[in-house]
Every structure is written in C-alpha cells, then in structure tokens.
Amino acid sequence: MAQAKNYDMAVYPTAGLVRSQSDGARAHQVTLSSCDCADYINRKGQLVETEAGPAVTVCKHVAEFLERVGGWNRPVPGPAAPPAGRRAAEPLVHQAVTRERARAILAGAGVEDARARSVLTSIRVLRGRDTLVLPDGGEAVVTYNLETRRYDVTLPAKTGVRSGLSRPNAYALLGDAGVTGPEARRALREAASTGSAYAAMADGHVIEVKHEYEFADDLFTLSFPA
C-alpha cells in the first residue's frame, strides 16, 4: 500500500488585529476583505476594475495584514542594483514651462505655494532668476525666459522622500524621474487601493509610492532611490 503524501501544514489566518498608526492604544479588526476603520467603511470595500481584472479595494490595515501574516504575504520588490558604470544623478531641468506648471513643480519639491507665487512674479517683473532653498536642503533655480515668456526650473537630482503630493503632482514627479505614464498611473492606482506600490524607472530602479490615508485629501508620498 502506497504511503500517503505528507503536505506542509501551512497556516493562513483569515482575521486579525492591526494597530492604528494614529492611535497606538487602538487596534482594528480586519479580515481578508474587511476592516472596521473609517477609511474602509467610508471609501473602501468597493468592487473596481483593475488591469488584472475586478478587485475589491482595501484599506492600509488590510494591506498590512496581508503583507505581514504568514501564508498571505506578498514579496515586496527592493531597489534594483545600480547598473555598472552608472553616472551620478543629474539635476532635473524643466524648460519653458508655464507659470502653473512651475508652481506644481515647486510644490512637488516642497516649496510653499505663497513663496512660489512670489518668486515667479518677482523674476517675471525683473526678467531675472532666483534660488529657493528646499526643505531637504537642496536648491531650486528658477529663471524667467523673456523670449518664450516662460520659466525654466532646475531641481536637484531626485533623491530622498517627497510627501504631501497631490495625484497630479505625484504623477508629474514620477514622469520627471523616468517612469512612463501607464506605469505611473498603475502605481498610483495600486497605492490608493492597497496603501503602497512600486513604480519602475527606465534605469531599472524603483520608486516607492505610498498613499497618505490619514489625510482627507488624496495625497501621496514618493521615496526615490539614493
């Protein structure tokens, strides 16, 4: 008589508690497709169409449960190794952009809108240029081009983290970093649905995209490779 095959006794939990990020004394009861948090109740748990087919949107607590609990966790891609002989990151130059586009670029770099508007107006009147110190210590150089009546904005190479980005600003920054339009839209959709995603850059590196659920607005955080 043939001996019965022994299978691995894998454990796949279907419910659990996830501690709140905003209140360490609280925990949310989650299952594979539900959560008692306000975000899930008000905005999630809806059937949506994705590139892979229909899916149920979830909140960050369900996503965290799926990521961390044995059996259900998904492998998370890490930053790719830099290609051999890769050159040092170069500044990002935005040439001949409109005033509104210049404001969006500066906002994505962390410049307060009132400061951006003041500088853009000043250099247009004086036909000059100005340098703004960014929150991360870098500098943005803004020049008004009299011939095109548009602005040139030069930012430091994309390294570090950019937070509090609206969806259009996050999309624009991903494009500036070499992420294709379809890939940027996919990563933003996935982050809004599950809490986080990775966007592939043209050079093989990845940018981590996180959705900031604690804010009422649809805001994102981008973490760029060093």
Tens digit of pLDDT for each residue in 36-85? Answer: 887 777 765 555 454 545 555 667 777 777 666 655 555 444 444 444 44
Rounded CA-CA distance 63/131 in Å is 41
Find the range with the poorest average confidence among 91-95, 96-100, 129-133, 190-194. Answer: 91-95
Burial classification of residue 130, based on how many CB atoms lie within 10 Å of its CB (0-12 exposed, 13-18 middle, 19 or more buried):
middle
Whether residue 163 contacts residue 212, with contact meaning beta carbons closer than 8 Å, is answered with yes
CB-based contact 47:39 (threshold 8 Å) = no
Residue that the structure tokens 């279907």 belong to: 14
Return the higher-pLDDT residue of 183 and 25.
183
Write out pLDDT tens, residues 116-155.
999 999 998 887 889 888 887 778 899 998 888 899 988 8
Helix (H) or strand (E) holding 69: none
CB of 179 closer than 8 Å to CB of 209: no
Instruction: DSSP letter for 221, please.
Output: E
Could you report how far apart the first and last alpha carbons of the chain are, in Å? 61
Tokens standing for 54? Answer: 């229909």
CA-based nearest residue to 199, from 94, 115, 96, 79: 79
Structure confidence at residue 182 (pLDDT): 93
CA distance 188 to 221: 10
Residue 148 β-bridge partners: none
DSSP annotation string for 144-195:
EETTTTEEEEEE--S-EEEEEEEHHHHHHHHHHTT--HHHHHHHHHHHHHHS
List, for residues 6-29, the tens digit of each pLDDT value: 555 556 677 777 777 666 677 778
pLDDT for res 81: 46
